[in-house]
Structure 1
């Protein structure tokens, strides 16, 4: 696939947007990307709505055909970008759900759905799904207006009548045929196999669509070697502006000939399930797949305590990934030991919260009161200078910031109510700050420029109209520059501001600072002992001599990937 001028232009725009959104953006494993072979990029987790495809399409060095929800194509800006990028629109069943008549309940004993005031014969068809109380039931037979036979579900359901929605079955054969043609031409396809964005720390069950695409293409063309490439989007905080992200490309894997043969002979369900399982495992090797937010918070705290020095974000993500596997391993072998470690970490976190500092600020407590006074004075002076530089740009952008924040909160609340996968709706926040900004920012800049023009008319009567319009144009053009400078200076200001509290604490109460440092050191040693107890072959790279002394029992230094494999 040769990328067009339009494709390259949109990709450049996406790259610029991503570098504005993220303070740090790294790519790992890019050498795994197939150069000419037909492949399908399976990207997860889908935790940042339209920012995810913007990030992947902008930073992927190989031109791809992206599978895109038809509902997103109907959005003016997103739809236009989709056309330029040759996106393949797909109608998702959840986008065309409708409210069913009456109410229903699930009878687990009879494995059927019973209705009250329902019209199943006219509203429901075989292969449709019934969604009630955040659970989905696949219809295998429409018996009457009040009885549906469904696939067996092991989960317990409350035996009460409730409102429900009908998710229709959609024939996607035309989409599959188009994808097969692209793969036969050795093109690349990209999609998000979870099927919808969410804000959970664990990936959702993978949809079967991409597996059907790959197996179907290989079944029709025996010479076609379709590669599946797992891609992980690892954010520090997906909803925050100027956060960090690492795009991790995993090892591509081919289809198993046994799976292809099973698919060709008609045993499609078994072949697809096997491929889904392998794909799920491959994705978990490139993402941080924690069971819940609380566990992820504890794991990140443990990682900071284990790594004595500040490491790169790529190293932090890799460590988190390994610690998730370690946590699962210890939870099975010795849950009591894991609970004890987690309680110690939580107590330490509570102590930091009480003092108003974070773990990465504890190092600043390791100073004398005299040195702390000097450092704090320098820090405050720098903050005052930065505040002076940022204030004009901040005032100019204040209306824009307020409007975007209001829109994103409204969208977050709206989309949270309509989704069964979202917890707080944080996955849509960044998207609905970026998209409105494209339209609103020029309007705000124009209003400011017109205000400047009115000032020129009142106080620069001797200037010609041409000069006034030129000056107004300059006033408009300088505002994006000021906005960019505001972003960069704010990064520096936030960095300096984080020093204020620990330095003040080192001056006002050095004894407390010494106590928290001692507590951290002991807990760090305990975490190190815990990790080596269950994975004695692990030793992270560190140049800190004190940390090396804690690791002296470890004789062999190995790569993080070796550690991860040892946990499987």
Structure 2
């Protein structure tokens, strides 16, 4: 069943995404149990990407942990069961509004004394529960309760308590995870693989959320119970236009993270400390497979700087591009940190010019590689335009009938995903625009609606066309292929339109002619900045 589901979802992903690039497969052990852990950037699609991208584990199920809330949902839960998923109850799914407000908080190194007004902590909380303050995505564990208006929470050094003054709070009850951990340990003992997203939930941020300790507890627990040291393989999932149909994704497998002898000895004396150290190693592995920045604006500038830095017409493979992107992102963060939150003057000026160049490209509907197109004579422009228009007309003729075939589902899935996005954003403390749910919800609806639509067409043909049942049956079987041809033709048509854009701009807009000069100057600035600041970073 698992192998069949893997083939099914590979077909879906190859239709939804125009390009799925895989980097670092050599880092995946060929034998034995593995814990795969990745960033959670595209809800249910993330698990499908990992399952379908790993040829070494094609027959051995990768049992992904899935929230009990999703496990109980129709369609999503059904597919999770078929893919050997493991349900896990999450405290945030049972969160309740707390009574009263928090008025003061006095912090020390590892704990914070919290005072409330109009609260009744003993009736709402127990030691081990968590509280989450309004405006914060972090949940803090309750250490002790001193009375109706006083309690103590644990505050790790990397998650200090925010300033509290009349803020509301949510109560996250403690959840018993013993059954889930037993399922995980049994799977690892049998040589199977586990998949987990330690951020806890999907999001559309450009940096990692604080990692939960579950992945460390699994690795140490399996070693303690079954004497099996399970490697943790970090996976970086990088989506380009994650909510759009026929977008692109890079899946990068990082170097395995294992439990060292030093950590084993520490675990015997200090389990919490050993788990936190191991979790830090896992986070380092994830960051080494990702490009993380403080904002989407910075991320787009990093990509722009990388394109300008590399030599024109130099074809870099995906691994090299990702490595360069990471170097620019990490260098930017170090310069920002060294300046106490302020960039050096030359880097600040470079950032402003990169932003201007990026915005100019966007205004003209161009991409960076189109800005370096050579100037053409009037006759050559006309020849290229005529040939491109000819190709475009042929593609439109082949694409439109097939796209109209599935238009009702396309409209319905777009509207359904938009409503799901609004709902997810309203119920989340960490999402920016909730783009991480759009594609998953659209796919979920299409999986059910497309076959239903095709069956409806077949039924109508039987009733009104006068065609034989056998003929209608073969037409029904052709619908998936026709739909795929329509998708590919439409995509090729869009590429043709984009290729025409710079030629029309050269005819109509003077800015197009100035872009080459702007780009050349920026290339020089980027390379000089790398030469000046690179050695110190």
User: What's the TM-score, normalizing by structure 2?
Assistant: 0.91
**1:246 CA drift (Å):** 1.8
> 8 Å contact 1:14–1:58 — kept in the other structure?
yes
| Residue 16, structure 1, aligned to residue 11, structure 2 | yes
For residue 157 of structure 1, the aligned residue among 152, 159, 163 is 163
> 8 Å contact 1:365–1:513 — kept in the other structure?
no
| Residue 95, structure 1, aligned to residue 113, structure 2 | no
For residues 27-46 of structure 1, the C-alpha deviation after alignment (integer angstroms, 9 at most, x for no partner) is 221121112233211112x1
> 8 Å contact 2:105–2:164 — kept in the other structure?
no
Aligned partners of 1:354, 1:430: CA distance in 2, in Å? 26
**1:315 CA drift (Å):** 3.6
| Residue 53, structure 1, aligned to residue 47, structure 2 | yes
Aligned runs of 1:239-318 on 2, under 5 Å? 239-265=243-269, 267-307=270-310, 308-309=312-313, 311-318=316-323
Alignment partner, residue 388 of structure 2? 379
Q: Unmatched 5+ residue regions in structure 1?
A: 1-5, 461-466, 537-565
Q: Unmatched 5+ residue regions in structure 2?
A: none
Aligned runs of 1:84-233 on 2, under 5 Å? 84-100=82-98, 102-109=99-106, 111-135=112-136, 136-152=139-155, 154-162=160-168, 164-221=169-226, 223-233=227-237
Give the length in aligned residue pairs.
518
Aligned partners of 1:247, 1:297: CA distance in 2, in Å? 19
**What secondary structure sits across from 1:271 in the alignment?**
helix
> 8 Å contact 1:21–1:243 — kept in the other structure?
yes
**What secondary structure sits across from 2:482 in the alignment?**
helix
**What secondary structure sits across from 1:108 in the alignment?**
strand
> 8 Å contact 1:232–1:286 — kept in the other structure?
yes
Alignment partner, residue 27 of structure 1? 22
For residues 502-560 of structure 1, the C-alpha deviation after alignment (integer angstroms, 9 at most, x for no partner) is 10122345x54332111111111211221232336xxxxxxxxxxxxxxxxxxxxxxxx
**1:212 CA drift (Å):** 1.0
**What secondary structure sits across from 2:291 in the alignment?**
coil
Aligned runs of 1:456-475 on 2, under 5 Å? 456=465, 460=466, 467-475=467-475
**1:445 CA drift (Å):** 1.9
For residues 65-84 of structure 1, the C-alpha deviation after alignment (integer angstroms, 9 at most, x for no partner) is 32222222112222222223
> 8 Å contact 1:201–1:293 — kept in the other structure?
yes
**1:158 CA drift (Å):** 4.4
For residues 2-56 of structure 1, the C-alpha deviation after alignment (integer angstroms, 9 at most, x for no partner) is xxxx111111112111111111112221121112233211112x11000000111
> 8 Å contact 2:105–2:115 — kept in the other structure?
no
Aligned partners of 1:368, 1:280: CA distance in 2, in Å? 54
For residues 202-241 of structure 1, the C-alpha deviation after alignment (integer angstroms, 9 at most, x for no partner) is 01111101101111222345x5332121111122222111
Aligned partners of 2:232, 2:255: CA distance in 1, in Å? 9
* Alignment root-mean-square deviation, CA: 2.2
Instruction: Please identify, of 17-26 and 348-357, the stretch whose mean Cα deviation from structure 2 is larger.
Output: 348-357
Decide whether aligned partners of structure 1 residues 95 and 156 sit closer, same or farther in structure 2, where only a CA change above 3 A counts: closer
Aligned partners of 2:338, 2:154: CA distance in 1, in Å? 35
**What secondary structure sits across from 2:166 in the alignment?**
coil
Aligned partners of 1:407, 1:53: CA distance in 2, in Å? 22
**1:188 CA drift (Å):** 2.3
Decide whether aligned partners of structure 1 residues 123 and 333 sit closer, same or farther in structure 2, where only a CA change above 3 A counts: closer
| Residue 358, structure 1, aligned to residue 367, structure 2 | yes
**1:57 CA drift (Å):** 1.1
Aligned partners of 1:106, 1:227: CA distance in 2, in Å? 45
User: What's the TM-score, normalizing by structure 1?
Assistant: 0.86
**1:271 CA drift (Å):** 0.7
Instruction: Please identify, of 345-354 and 367-376, the stretch whose mean Cα deviation from structure 2 is larger.
Output: 345-354
Aligned partners of 2:167, 2:284: CA distance in 1, in Å? 38
**What secondary structure sits across from 1:295 in the alignment?**
helix
For residue 65 of structure 2, the aligned residue among 60, 64, 67 is 67
**What secondary structure sits across from 1:233 in the alignment?**
strand
**1:89 CA drift (Å):** 1.3
> 8 Å contact 1:368–1:506 — kept in the other structure?
no
Aligned runs of 1:412-561 on 2, under 5 Å? 412-456=421-465, 460=466, 467-509=467-509, 512-535=511-534
